[in-house]
Amino acid sequence: QTQLVQSGAEVKRPGASVKVSCETSGYSFTFYGVNWVRQAPGQGLEWMGWISSHNGETNYAQKFQGRLTMTTDTPTKTVYMELRSLTSDDTAVYFCARSGRTAGTTRPFEFWGQGTQVTVAS
């Protein structure tokens, strides 16, 4: 069965970077793409960006341009999300979620990771 398993909770200082992993299994990795979505405490869902597991193409939300990088590692079927220059506003639960593999995909997020808590505090 399809599973997305994320790395554990992180605590970072302001200005630091965080890298969260999303290990996938149960499906053909290169047939899909992966999105990252975050949720600040008591807030709604915020889409951050998408990466194609097929060719590494990315599409980032404008808000995160310049400090967000998504990468894939096909042999391990793992997707990574790195966010730099962290502030307290980046404190949130970060989710990975599977969708389509092509740019412009409208596919829904049928499978989600369990979430990773990232806390930014001095």
Least distance CB 15 / other proteins (angstroms): 26
Among 22, 50, 51, 86, binds other proteins (CB under 8 A): 50
The rounded distance, in Å, linking the Cα atoms of 39 and 25 is 24
Taking CB under 8 A as the rule, does residue 106 contact other proteins? yes
Closest CB to other proteins among 2 and 74? 2
Taking CB under 8 A as the rule, does residue 41 contact other proteins? no
The rounded distance, in Å, linking the Cα atoms of 67 and 35 is 16
The rounded distance, in Å, linking the Cα atoms of 68 and 74 is 20
Q: Would you say 104 and 57 are in contact if contact means Cβ atoms under 8 Å apart?
A: no
Closest CB to other proteins among 80 and 111? 111
Strands (E), 33-84: 33-39, 46-52, 58-60, 68-73, 78-83
Structure-token pair, residue 92: 């949130």
Taking CB under 8 A as the rule, does residue 32 contact other proteins? no
Among 28, 61, 73, 85, binds other proteins (CB under 8 A): 61
What residue ranges bind other proteins (CB under 8 A)? 35, 37, 44-47, 49-50, 59-62, 95, 97, 104-106, 108-110, 112-115
